[in-house]
Amino acid sequence: MATYTLRALYGAKQKSPGCVYYYIGKIGEWRELYFYYWLIQGGGHNVLVDTGVPLNKPEDFDILNRSHQYVHEDCTHPADAVVQPPEALAKAGLTCEDIDKVLITSTSTYATGNIEMFPNAEVCVSKLGWAHVMQGDAMGLYESRVFFAKETMDYLNGPGKDKVRLVEDEELLPGLRYWWTGVHHRGSMAVSVMTAKGKVNFGDCAFVYENLEERRPIGCIESMEEWNEVYPRLMDADLVLPFHDARLLERYPDGIIA
């Protein structure tokens, strides 16, 4: 079985109240949630999980922030705290051109914001999430560009069209599985990767350590039934990581996990 290294690279942060990351609890508590680029390397492959917020696209960046302000006016990504993909990858000695696979955990521009920066990468996206985006938001809550920035969608429908791979549950490489979870969004996916520390699972169905340790779902949840179904599979690993917890960088200096 192939083994890989795993590193979390800081990308952005957002101030969020307890109702976002903890179901019916943490009332009055606020935390900074971190948004990471997850770098998986091994077997001659450089795989990046998520491509960060669209800071370099002012209109789309504003759309993303306004969508989060449905919760509270303070729930935004401060522009001066965003690290774009080239800068983040440089810390690992890589460029965007070195990435051969991009895995998207959520069809939202905090995860899809810079896909077009990776011209050599196959782009893996949730099959259900992609269909959901193509159908549009029936409730009319969100502008379509909160899912994919205009420049990104132009790329995916144009030069990058043949690079898109729609996935439900698949081993993309030996020891690297990408699978649908739901829970948070229709396009939410998780990653299982074999490392020197054993199997590591992570996905946006668990934001902070308490979600995992207390079996308490996230507050920003679309389906409790999906949470109950996915939790045992998520926890079936040697190491399970919260997706947005700032304390991850305290436990793993420089984001080096395995």
pLDDT by residue for the chain (258 residues), tens only, comes to 789 999 999 999 999 999 999 999 999 999 999 999 999 999 999 999 999 999 999 999 999 999 999 899 999 999 999 999 999 999 999 999 999 999 999 999 999 999 999 999 999 999 999 998 888 766 555 668 899 999 999 999 999 999 999 999 999 999 999 999 999 999 999 999 999 999 999 999 999 999 999 999 999 999 999 999 999 999 999 999 999 999 999 999 999 999
* Per-residue DSSP letter, 82: -
Residue 142's pLDDT is 62
Q: How many helices (H) and strands (E) does the chain have?
A: 9, 11
What distance in Å separates the CA atoms of residue 94 and residue 141, rounded to the nearest whole number?
38
Q: What is the CATH number of domain 5-255?
A: 3.60.15.10
pLDDT at residue 139, as a whole number: 57
Distance in angstroms (rounded) separating the CA atoms of residues 107 and 96: 20
What's the pLDDT at 134?
Answer: 85
**Whether the Cβ atoms of residue 4 and residue 43 lie closer than 8 Å to each other:** yes
Residues whose CB is less than 8 angstroms from the CB of residue 64 and which lie 6 or more positions away in sequence, other chains included? 53, 54, 77, 108, 109, 110, 113, 146
